[in-house]
Amino acid sequence: MKETEWHIGRMPRDKRTKQPVEAITNSVNHSLRLEILTILHQGEFSAGEIADVLEEDVRYVTGHVRILFETGCIEFMGFKRIGGYARPVFRAITLPIVTDEVFRKLEKDERHDISGVGLQGFLAESLSAYANEKLDSAEEPPCLIWDVPSLDAKRRRKLRRRLNEIWKEEVLAAEAELANAVVQSGEEAIPTVVGLFSFERGRRGRPERGYFRVEKD
């Protein structure tokens, strides 16, 4: 791809080769694209640097990086000199922190894009962890709980507030405490994927089987 064809940042929506839903599923339905996404969550890299990490042919990796960029799944950050040549560098899409008030004021397409970025990131990290057998530990089993309860507006808002409280009180607080705890215990800090989700189901009707149920006494 020539330099003049690059767009700094994310590919504009009207120029993407795939639109949001198809782009997200396409980004995680190939093992190499999946790993490229998770690597780009860690920083800015060229296709050559990604190829080195994955021990893959750079031309093969470049093709998949291009697909991810053209479908709007990653951002182009510019060029940097690597081995005497200017190489395009990419990163995962930065997910902005958007308050409820700001989110409501956005255009529908903007809200759709922001939701898609969050969903893509979580899907990529989850599937990568599964593919790399990180969900198989008997010593520290993963927490994989989800359900589809029927809730009215009041209880949906209450649940959402509580999930935000858990994020601040448990997730962010735990990370803030980490530095001292690691120094004292000498234990390695393991990057841990945490996701809290609450949204209306895509299809009407409540599934009757296959979901976690809390046992009642």
Q: Are residues 131 and 164 in the same domain?
A: no
Q: Judge contact between 90 and 45, C-beta under 8 A.
A: yes
pLDDT at residue 119, as a whole number: 93
Lowest mean pLDDT among 53-57, 99-103, 156-160, 175-179: 175-179
Q: Are residues 69 and 42 in the same domain?
A: yes
How far is Cα 99 from Cα 95, in angstroms, rounded to an integer? 12
Q: Examine the pLDDT at 216 and tell me if it is beyond 70.
A: no
38-81 pLDDT, tens digit per residue, is 999 999 999 999 999 999 999 999 999 999 999 999 999 999 99
Structural domain that includes position 199:
143-217
106-152 pLDDT, tens digit per residue, is 999 999 999 999 999 999 999 999 999 999 988 889 998 888 888 99
Between the alpha carbon of residue 99 and those of residues 109, 134, 164, the distances in Å are 17, 33, 11
Q: Examine the pLDDT at 192 and tell me if it is beyond 60.
A: yes
Lowest mean pLDDT among 9-13, 18-22, 151-155, 171-175: 171-175
How far is Cα 91 from Cα 49, in angstroms, rounded to an integer? 12
Q: Are residues 54 and 149 in the same domain?
A: no
Q: How many domains, the chain? A: 2
Q: Are residues 83 and 165 in the same domain?
A: no
Q: Are residues 61 and 164 in the same domain?
A: no
pLDDT at residue 162, as a whole number: 94
Q: Is the dihedral of CA 188, 93, 77, 19 positive or negative?
A: positive
pLDDT at residue 98, as a whole number: 83
Lowest mean pLDDT among 83-92, 122-131, 206-215: 206-215
End-to-end CA distance of the chain: 63
Q: Are residues 16 and 75 in the same domain?
A: yes
Which of 108, 136, 164 represents a domain boundary (last residue)? Answer: 136
Which of 95, 119, 136 represents a domain boundary (last residue)? Answer: 136
Of 92, 100, 91, the residue nearest 117 (C-alpha): 92
pLDDT at residue 212, as a whole number: 61
How far is Cα 124 from Cα 9, in angstroms, rounded to an integer? 20
Which CATH number does the domain housing residue 33 bear? 1.10.10.10
Q: Are residues 49 and 21 in the same domain?
A: yes
Q: Are residues 147 and 112 in the same domain?
A: no
Residue 17: HSE in the Cβ half-sphere, 13 Å Cα cutoff: 9
Of 111, 156, 128, the residue nearest 31 (C-alpha): 128
Q: Are residues 126 and 187 in the same domain?
A: no
pLDDT at residue 33, as a whole number: 97
How far is Cα 202 from Cα 207, in angstroms, rounded to an integer? 12
Q: Are residues 12 and 81 in the same domain?
A: yes
Of 157, 110, 103, 126, the residue nearest 10 (C-alpha): 110
Q: Are residues 172 and 121 in the same domain?
A: no
Q: Are residues 113 and 157 in the same domain?
A: no
Which of 136, 152, 171 represents a domain boundary (last residue)? Answer: 136
